[in-house]
């Protein structure tokens, strides 16, 4: 017997980092107002850590999808692997030349391209796709807020989110 509905559990899992950050920040504030500044140093540390977790948690929650799609994504030692029902493949994070978000497909897909290979298409709602946030954050110069804005936009064309060097086809938008 479950005490919580599955929808409530899914929502709590989606916002888990932000919730933990809010709890830490609340504890830090409570300790700051406590007995004569006795816990001032740990309270400040909890407040800073909580604020950081809230900021990161809000970004990750915006990146995560509510639904489970087809296929599964695995991130292991800098290598992204997608196991799909019809396609799949893997690409090393260091080999990615261009990251594109194609919202013209349903569901939207990430396209990871490398030199000399065909691109790896990953649905944004694939199982484990939330691990891609950490992988994409390691790409030098990636603008996370712009990526999240494009992910939620109603644009119906492919948008280049990041590229190692300017080698995109003419007509492909960058952000």
Is the bond into 107 cis (omega within 30 degrees of 0)? yes
pLDDT exceeds 90 at position 49: yes
Encoded tokens for 82: 């997608």
1 domain residue, yes or no: no
CB 140 within 8 A of CB 94: no
Distance CA 55, CA 51 (A): 6
Angle, helices 40-63/16-32, rounded to nearest 10 degrees: 160
103 domain residue, yes or no: yes
Output the pTM of the full model.
0.68
**18 and 49 within one domain:** yes
**78 and 33 within one domain:** no
**CATH number of the domain within which 98 lies:** 2.30.29
Residues 6+ apart with CB under 8 A from 175: 143, 146, 150, 159, 160, 161
User: What is the share, in percent, of the chain residues with pLDDT greater than 70?
Assistant: 93
What's the number of domains the chain is made of?
2
**79 and 22 within one domain:** no
Residues 6+ apart with CB under 8 A from 116: none
Encoded tokens for 154: 């109603």
Q: Give tens-digit pLDDT for 53-99.
A: 999 888 888 777 766 778 889 998 889 999 988 888 899 998 899 99
Domain that holds residue 150: 72-174
93 domain residue, yes or no: yes
Encoded tokens for 44: 């400040």
What is the CB neighbour count within 10 angstroms for residue 159?
20
């Amino acid at each position: 017997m479950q005490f919580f509905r599955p929808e409530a559990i899914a929502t709590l899992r989606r916002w888990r980092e932000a919730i933990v950050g809010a709890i830490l920040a609340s504890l830090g504030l409570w300790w700051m107002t406590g007995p004569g500044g006795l816990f001032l140093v740990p309270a400040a540390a909890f407040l800073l850590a909580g604020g950081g977790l809230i900021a990161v948690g809000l970004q990750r929650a915006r990146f995560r999808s509510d639904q489970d799609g087809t296929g599964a994504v695995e991130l292991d030692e800098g290598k992204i692997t997608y196991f799909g029902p019809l396609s799949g493949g893997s690409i090393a994070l260091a080999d990615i030349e261009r990251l594109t978000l194609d919202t013209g497909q349903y569901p939207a897909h990430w396209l990871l391209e490398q030199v000399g290979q065909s691109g790896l298409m990953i649905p944004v709602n694939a199982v484990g796709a939330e691990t891609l946030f950490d992988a994409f954050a390691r790409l030098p110069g990636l603008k996370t807020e712009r990526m999240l804005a494009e992910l939620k936009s109603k644009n119906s064309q492919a948008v280049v989110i990041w590229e190692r060097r300017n080698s995109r086809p003419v007509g492909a938008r960058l952000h």
